[in-house]
């Protein structure tokens, strides 16, 4: 590992679901640069996951690729088993995987089909994986679980996408607070609620959405996956050992567009 990188996670093992691209990729790499061995998970894109693992190994870290479609509930148990089999213990579990209903084939689905897909991939997999990870961590002395919500779930947003993500990400945020109470004292559970983050969708949208994303942040810019990853690294580290049951907004400071 590069001696100039942080080392607070040396000796830890982390799992990051949905880490073949976007925010998950950034989190996996960030945790690896802090010393963690990382399970890189992808739903389908094995090549992209291998690229992330290669990047981590190029930094001097350790990575293991697991490709499982979390739409299938049987895959949840398989992912947990694979992670614990690789390193015999897991200290950090990040539930980042989510269905993409904004780009690609799923964008053409009906509202009801999108809702069903988001429930199964985003919400149900987060609930089941977090509960299974928490139980195993409790049995082995402790750990940290981090889920991913959405800052807009608190205030709502008009339109089909706003309704879909408010419902699903809001469920994840509420679940995270409750699991933190169930899993205490030796397993911490927190949640990051990203604002406008420039992932694949943000690279393709027109000027209306580009301007809205910038206008709704006090910092006047899109967030980046790396902005989320740095907060994730802190929250799963011992530096955050007294932070538990929290939903942390990472959005540059929200403001209503045109408020000033």
d(CA 173, CA 194): 12
Question: What residues pair up with 248 in beta bridges, in sequence order?
Answer: 192
The distance between the two most distant Cα atoms of the chain, rounded to a whole number of Å, is 54
3 falls in which pLDDT band (50, 70, 90)? very low
Give the tens place of pLDDT for each residue, 131-182.
999 999 999 999 999 999 999 999 999 999 999 999 999 999 999 999 999 9
Spatial neighbors of 169 by CB under 8 A, at least 6 apart, are 122, 148, 149, 150, 152, 153, 193
Question: What residues pair up with 94 in beta bridges, in sequence order?
Answer: 16, 146
Alpha helices for the chain (secondary structure H): 22-33, 46-58, 74-87, 111-118, 125-139, 152-155, 160-183, 200-204, 207-215, 225-236
Spatial neighbors of 74 by CB under 8 A, at least 6 apart, are none
Structure tokens, 178 = 């409750």
Please list, residue by residue across 137-149, b when 16 or more beta carbons sit within 10 angstroms of its beta carbon and e when fewer do. Answer: bbeeeebbbbbbb
If you classify domain 13-250 with CATH, what class do you get?
alpha beta
pLDDT for position 1: 44
d(CA 205, CA 7): 38
Give the tens place of pLDDT for each residue, 87-137.
999 999 999 999 999 888 999 999 999 999 999 999 999 999 999 999 999
- Kindly report the backbone phi and psi dihedral angles of residue 149, in degrees, each rounded to the nearest multiple of 5, phi listed first: -110, -140
pLDDT for position 5: 56
């Amino acid at each position: 590992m590069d001696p100039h990188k942080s080392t607070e996670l040396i000796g830890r093992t982390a799992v990051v679901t949905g880490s073949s691209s976007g925010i998950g990729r950034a989190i996996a790499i960030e945790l690896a640069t802090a010393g963690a061995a990382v399970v890189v998970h992808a739903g389908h894109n094995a090549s992209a996951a291998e690229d992330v693992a290669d990047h981590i190994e190029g930094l001097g870290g350790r990575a293991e690729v697991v490709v499982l479609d979390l739409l299938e509930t049987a895959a949840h148990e398989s992912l947990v088993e694979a992670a614990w089999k690789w390193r015999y213990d897991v200290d950090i579990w990040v539930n980042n995987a989510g269905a993409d209903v904004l780009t690609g084939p799923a964008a053409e689905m009906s509202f009801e089909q999108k809702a069903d897909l988001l429930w199964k991939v985003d919400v149900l997999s987060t609930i089941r994986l977090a509960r299974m990870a928490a139980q195993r961590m409790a049995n082995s002395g402790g750990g940290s679980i981090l889920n991913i919500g959405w800052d807009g779930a608190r205030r709502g947003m008009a339109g089909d996408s706003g309704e879909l993500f408010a419902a699903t990400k809001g469920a994840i945020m509420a679940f995270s607070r409750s699991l933190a109470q169930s899993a205490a004292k030796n397993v911490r559970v927190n949640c990051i609620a990203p604002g406008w983050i420039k992932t694949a969708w943000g690279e393709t949208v027109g000027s209306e959405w580009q301007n809205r994303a910038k206008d709704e942040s006090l910092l006047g810019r899109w967030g980046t996956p790396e902005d989320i990853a740095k907060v994730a690294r802190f929250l799963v580290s011992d530096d955050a050992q007294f932070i538990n049951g929290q939903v942390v907004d990472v959005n540059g400071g929200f403001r209503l567009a045109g408020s000033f």
